């Protein structure tokens, strides 16, 4: 049960990463900005 749910989550995350590479890049840039602000 636990193993299958983990696999499902991995599949979903891979699908999302394939779906929105631009959004991922934008999110990464925002997180970098936030990190720089926090320093």
Return the pLDDT at 1.
59
Domain ranges for the chain, please list them. Answer: 2-38
Q: Is the overall model pTM greater than 0.75, yes or no?
A: no
Sole residue written with tokens 């749910």: 5
Residue 17's contacts (CB-CB under 8 Å, 6 or more residues apart) are: 24
pLDDT in tens, 1-39: 588 899 888 898 888 777 777 777 777 888 888 778 777
Residue 22: CB partners within 8 Å, gap ≥ 6? Answer: none
């Amino acid at each position: 049960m636990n193993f299958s749910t983990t696999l499902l989550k991995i599949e979903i995350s891979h699908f999302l990463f394939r779906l929105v590479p631009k959004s991922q890049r934008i999110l990464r840039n925002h997180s970098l900005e936030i990190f720089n602000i926090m320093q």
